[in-house]
Amino acid sequence: MASATGATRLDLDGNPIRPLTICMIGAGGFIGSHLCEKLMAETPHKVLAVDVYSDKIKHLLEPPPGHGRIQFHRLNIKNDSRLEGLIKMSDLTINLAAICTPADYNTRPLDTIYSNFIDALPVVKYCSENNKRLIHFSTCEVYGKTIGSFLPKDHPLRQQPEFYVLKEDASPCIFGPIEKQRWSYACAKQLIERLIYAEGAENGLEFTIVRPFNWIGPRMDFIPGVDGPSEGVPRVLACFSNNLLRQEPLKLVDGGQSQRTFVYIKDAIEAVLLMIENPARANGQIFNVGNPNNEVTVKQLAEMMTEVYSKVSGEPPLEVPTIDVSSKEFYGEGYDDSDKRIPDMTIINKQLGWEPKTPIWDLLESTLTYQHRTYAEAIKRVMAKPAASC
């Protein structure tokens, strides 16, 4: 297969890669927009981009970027009969559609469950019935809590990797009690994974499941009051970015002691392209995609972002850069959390030879440079507007 630059491209086993038609559901979002860019720039694959919004890919929908190889189909997969036709037209379906913002898991648990399980059912069904390959995006949250989190805080075993490193083929999925509705997302995602796996076992569905571990980069989420609802609460990086842009203290939920790993979106998209173009190595696999070298507490992330934003914006940091808030105050009743999310990378490295490259300082600088360039002036305009009188 010739690439966008004309050279023949080979898969990891030395076989020519044939051009594919890809039905990408959720193509207009953060991950979808970066994947579309990659496919248009470096491959001859064709994309049927399915979403209700196209703002993040509008630059690809006019020539020359896609040269007609990307078509936007505005539809909601909940209730549109055109979906099966688009899947039938394609060689591969990639499902990115989801409600995936922690603030919604408590306040919109029904929407969260429907979005991540019920709405995904037709996609799985159509792929299985029409013998079409499926790459389904799940979440690292399916692992829930680590085994180590149930040990006493000072127990030495909490420091042993087997008690906290998350393995696709070995780690249990441990959720909190039903009244902790924060787990509605993880539970729905786990159940759709089990359904996809069962379709593979019983009906021969060719599938790959992706478990992202905090993919970070430009175009992630939204900034409240600018390109999202004023009362919206995006994920942690966009939330902290919003605070920095508004020169407000960053809010640390329960002291920001949870530990996370962060991977740069461009590194992660390299992994997805390997899955797309190496079906013999990716089919039937569940892949962690993250960067265990970029592990920090949420509090450390806030401190790093404050330092990096000061550098890219030229603005001095606040004297009091962070404040502590309780999870109940920030998210409402029913919130719970996992202590650590550290991915084991053995399977993806063995199957696809993929390793992340970008250190956390570099990905934060790239992302915050984008956030400042894109939003700083808009935030100033929003903040300058007089408050509505009663």
Say whether 199 sits in a helix, a strand or coil: helix
Q: Give the orientation angle of helix 298-313 with respect to helix 236-245, to 10 degrees.
A: 40
Q: Which residues contact 12 (CB under 8 A, 6 or more apart)?
A: 274, 278, 281, 352, 353
pLDDT band at residue 8 using 50, 70 and 90 as cut-offs: confident
At 260, the amino acid letter reads R
- Lowest mean pLDDT, pick from 31-35, 53-57, 127-131, 189-193: 53-57
Quote the pLDDT of residue 296: 94
**What pLDDT does residue 334 have?**
63
Mean pLDDT lowest for which of 115-119, 194-198, 250-254? 250-254
Question: 115-120: long-range contacts (C-beta < 8 A, 24 or more apart)?
Answer: 115/188, 116/185, 116/188, 116/189, 116/192, 117/188, 117/189, 117/191, 117/192, 119/77, 119/78, 120/95, 120/192
Distance CA 300, CA 304 (A): 6
Residue type, 119: D
Per-residue confidence (pLDDT) for residue 149, from 0 to 100: 83
| Whether pLDDT at 358 is above 50 | yes
3-state secondary structure of 105: helix
pLDDT at 390 over 50: no
Q: Calculate the CA 139 to chain-centre distance.
A: 7
Q: Tens digit of pLDDT for each residue in 12-35?
A: 999 999 999 999 999 999 999 999
Q: For residue 91, give the 3-state DSSP assignment.
A: coil
Stronger pLDDT, 210 or 319, i.e. the higher one: 210
Residues with active-site annotation? 185
Under the banding of pLDDT at 50, 70 and 90, the label for residue 1 is: low
Contact 96, 80 (CB under 8 A): no
- Residue 379 to residues 38, 272, 315, 364, 376, Cα–Cα distance (Å): 30, 34, 15, 20, 5
Phi then psi dihedrals of residue 296, to 5 deg:
-145, 160
Region 227-254 average pLDDT? 82
Q: Across all residues in the chain, what is the average pLDDT?
A: 90
Amino acid at 216: I
**By 3-state DSSP, what share of the chain in percent is helix, strand and coil, each rounded to 5?**
45, 15, 40
pLDDT digits (tens, 9 = 90+) for 255-299: 888 889 999 999 999 999 999 999 999 999 999 999 999 999 999
Least confidently predicted of 60-69, 75-84, 195-204: 60-69
Q: How high is the pLDDT of residue 157?
A: 85
Question: Between the CA of residue 84 and those of 76, 183, 283, 318, what are the distances in Å?
Answer: 12, 30, 21, 52
The answer to whether residue 65 scores a pLDDT higher than 60 is no
Question: What is the Cα–Cα distance from 56 to 45, expressed in whole angstroms?
Answer: 19
Single-letter amino acid, residue 204: G
Confidence of residue 115 (pLDDT cuts 50, 70, 90): very high
Q: How far apart are CA 273 and CA 210, in angstroms?
A: 12
What average pLDDT does the segment 34-47 reach?
96
How far from 81 is each of 64, 128, 196, CA to CA, in Å? 31, 17, 21
pLDDT at position 325: 83
pLDDT value at position 3?
56
Q: How far is Cα 22 from Cα 89, in angstroms, rounded to an integer?
A: 9
pLDDT at residue 70 in the model: 96
CB-side neighbour CA atoms (13 Å) of 379: 17
Q: Where are the domains of the chain?
A: 97-379
Per-residue confidence (pLDDT) for residue 175, from 0 to 100: 92
Q: For domain 97-379, give its CATH number from 3.30.230.70, 3.40.50.720, 1.10.1420.10, 3.40.50.2300.
A: 3.40.50.720
Confidence band of 228 (pLDDT split at 50, 70, 90): low
